Chains A and B, each alone.
Chain A
Amino acid sequence: GEDVEQSLFLSVREGDSSVINCTYTDSSSTYLYWYKQEPGAGLQLLTYIFSNMDMKQDQRLTVLLNKKDKHLSLRIADTQTGDSAIYFCAEKIDSWGKFQFGAGTQVVVTP
């Protein structure tokens, strides 16, 4: 089946690390993505990981992929108030680029 699941809400203190988790079901997914959506805006691509990788680091962002458990996580180091947004996990589920999104995790950063 095609289903991507995320926890709905995360509260984190400014300066701490945030970890957003995601599980997916399509084992044939080639790429997995993290998008950020701020209020009233479209989706901003943050990072992605190829399915044959375990980890990818990009500045404050670290993506971990456990393909056996179909688990993806996004770690944001030194979380800032500007990181408050909804974060979507997405998997590419066919060769033509159809994306399946999770429902999103709302991250609230408190001072």
Chain B
Amino acid sequence: DAGVTQSPTHLIKTRGQHVTLRCSPISGHKSVSWYQQVLGQGPQFIFQYYEKEERGRGNFPDRFSARQFPNYSSELNVNALLLGDSALYLCASSVDSHNEQFFGPGTRLTVL
């Protein structure tokens, strides 16, 4: 069975640009969460989506946005990139919003 998939695996952008990261959940999972993991730290919660609706938002600026599609895949968008946005962005899926989360391999974003 395929796990959570994310694309791209690596990405290099410059300050001020925007980026779109993609996530496909495990088949049958309806909830997707996004996390930012800065080097040397634990993942920080950004968003959770369930049934295409935002169910939770972490302490991130409005430059961060996300959406979930009818097939439960999700996109994370970040506008006006800053150097501090350089991180591993992790997507996690769960059967519903209450169950354990399974993580994808992440997208490594580098902002120059």
Contacts and interface: CB of A to CB of B under 8 A. Distances in A.
Interface of A: 4, 31, 33, 35, 41-45, 48, 88, 90, 94-104
A97 B97 contact: yes
B55 interface: yes
Q: Say which size band chain B's interface belongs to.
A: 20 to 34
Given A96-B97, A97-B56, A97-B101, A42 B90 contact: yes
Given A43-B103, A48-B100, A4 B56 contact: no
Interface in B71-100: 90, 92, 94, 97-100
A33 B90 contact: no
A68 B79 CA distance: 43
Contact of B104 (A42, A88, A95): A42
Interface of B: 4, 31, 33, 35, 40-45, 48, 50, 55-56, 58, 90, 92, 94, 97-106
A97 B58 CA distance: 12
Contacts of B106: 41-42
Contacts of B45: 98-100
A98 B35 CA distance: 10
A96 B48 contact: yes
B58 to A, nearest CB: 7
B2 to A, nearest CB: 14
A98 B99 contact: no
A76 B81 CA distance: 41
16 contacts: A4-B42, A35-B103, A41-B106, A42-B103, A43-B43, A45-B103, A48-B100, A88-B42, A90-B42, A94-B56, A96-B50, A96-B97, A97-B99, A98-B48, A100-B45, A104-B41
Contacts of A90: 42
Contact of A95 (B31, B98, B105): B98
A97 B94 contact: yes
